[in-house]
Amino acid sequence: MSQRQMGNQPMLVLSEESSRTSGKDAQSMNITAAQAVAEAVRTTLGPKGMDKMLVDDAGGVVVTNDGVTILDEMDIEHPAANMIVEVAQTQEDEVGDGTTTAVVIAGELLSKAEDLLDQDIHATILAQGYRQAAEKAKEILEEQAIEVTPEDTEQLEKVAATAMTGKGAESSKDVLSELVVRAVQSVADDGVVDTDNIQVETVVGGSTDESELVEGVIIDKERVHDNMPYAVEDADVALLDTAIEVPETELDTEVNVTDPDQLQQFLDQEEAQLKEMVENLTDAGADVVIAQKGIDDMAQHYLAQEGILAVRRAKKSDIKALSRSTGARVVSNIDDVTEDDLGFAGSVAQKDVGGDERIFVEDVEDARAVTLILRGGTEHVVDEVERAIDDSLGVVAATLEDGKVLPGGGAPETELALGLRDHADSVGGREQLAIEAFADAIDVVPRTLAENAGLDPIDSLVDLRSKHDGGDTAAGLDAYTGDVVDMNDDGVVEPLRVKTQAVESATEAAVMILRIDDVIAAGDLKGGGSDDDEDDAPGGPGGAPGGMGGGMGGMGGGMGGMM
């Protein structure tokens, strides 16, 4: 990679094809890429946010205004832009909502930082100031938070409805928010909510208002034999993660038959084994058998004779959900099944849902697993409703776990901006400028809410600040009327975790990008390569001196454009 030239010729360190951007050019390039990502989703923020249509190479279409979905579907190449996408993904994983807010704040933090970089404020000073501001911001949000108990269904429904506002589910948010809260309360265990226990099934056809909550589990399967009952009441349920089939030998075997009677004996023996398996299940008292693997045709016949409803090849996740909801233990050996292994369900029935036959396991004593059936007129509508429900489930779960909410409508951001400006005055040195820039950046949320609602952002911000200066910490922007009203009275509330996580993720991403002052096209960053390559490479093991430049030109090609 490097070679010393004779005379006054320059020394080549990187290959001529490789790319390197340094200093302010690198910072500016990264900030521009991050801002482009933020701008891409900014118009989706708030109750009057617009949707995006995403079209892939195969012609597949997604219509959504869910921030993380938009960013996941976009074809983004720039490495700094991908760091902003990670902000949305972290927000989705931690809370389930607020992805657009987090990304927009990250973009604005970088935008304000660029102005200070132009004034020769060093990036490390900005990073330090931003971190201080983020810590103070979390304190201010904690002070503003309102306590909520797990039994406060009305407040939880407001949280759920707020998460759906501005999305495809908004027209039916009253019905859906009630279902979401019931679902989360059903699976809550000592203040901890595992949303994996809430299945979401979508059905194309009907109105979104016709969505329902089943306190139990729905399996996208049918009974395996036509002679089996369609429904079983007061069912004892057996769950198997093994097949009801004659086991195959571990070694390849060959059976030589010299007499037709021997063949018949062989078949009779297999049949007897299958019959014994079914008898074991019957003796244990099973009325319903759900197997994760296959069920032999002859076994199906015997099960039908016994009046047992059986399902085969159920998903592992369905088996787990059934175990949680019915109390059944998953059995691996049919010979060992006992009455104690069985679970209970008041009703197990095969029903038609939107033209598909599915098994409903309902009326369980302690519904630790529930299923939401979402309906919609078209596939695109149903998909967007499902995304809204996922966000709503996340925020209600977060509220139950933390027990704290904040008013929405830009109220917490306005309070943050005012509090941080006051805090900046008490901080000496250049960090004060960074904290003030952070406060200005936070204002992007109420400003964007106003812009997306077709309101004058300056007038809206002035009205908001005036109310908050007067001590009305819950004052937020009503996007429908344009008035500044009490968000608690308006029923617009969000979990505290949505805001604290958004501030934390946005700050970390912005600081990481600001600290980059050199973008160099690199080789294999994982230090890959086979043993043979290492032995043959010039310069010793790993070929570090000679092999670095080979892959360095590849990064530059994709750096210039983001999408």
Whether the CB-CB separation of 511 and 25 falls below 8 Å is answered with no
Whether the CB-CB separation of 395 and 155 falls below 8 Å is answered with no
Judge whether 66 counts as a catalytic residue: yes
Whether the CB-CB separation of 436 and 136 falls below 8 Å is answered with no
Cα angle value 318/324/330 (rounded, 5°): 70
d(CA 443, CA 449): 10
Tell which residue, 247, 225, 243, 335, has the closest CA to residue 294.
243
Give start and end residues of each alpha helix (H) in 515-562.
531-536, 544-547, 553-559
In the numeric block, which tokens belong to residue 204?
Answer: 């194309």
As a three-state string, the secondary structure of 242-271 is CCECCCCCCCCCCCCCCCHHHHHHHHHHHH
Residue 503 C-beta-side C-alpha neighbours within 13 Å: 27
Q: How many Cβ atoms are within 10 Å of 489's Cβ, its own excluded?
A: 9
Choosing from 391, 443, 463, 490, the catalytic residue is 391
d(CA 269, CA 298): 12
The residues facing 361 across adjacent strands are 217, 348
Judge whether 152 counts as a catalytic residue: no
Judge whether 296 counts as a catalytic residue: no
Choosing from 66, 287, 318, 478, the catalytic residue is 66
Local structure of residue 494 (DSSP, 8 states): E
Whether the CB-CB separation of 292 and 314 falls below 8 Å is answered with yes
Choosing from 100, 162, 371, 507, the catalytic residue is 100
Q: How many Cβ atoms are within 10 Å of 241's Cβ, its own excluded?
A: 13
Tell which residue, 19, 17, 21, 15, has the closest CA to residue 518.
21
Tell which residue, 229, 240, 368, has the closest CA to residue 306.
229
Choosing from 99, 202, 208, 371, the catalytic residue is 99
Burial of 58 from C-beta contacts in 10 A (0-12 / 13-18 / 19+):
exposed
Q: Which residues have CB under 8 Å from 272's CB, separation 6+?
A: none
Q: Count helices and strands (H / E) in the chain.
A: 20, 19
In the numeric block, which tokens belong to residue 35?
Answer: 């801002």
Judge whether 99 counts as a catalytic residue: yes
* Active site residues per annotation: 66, 99-100, 391
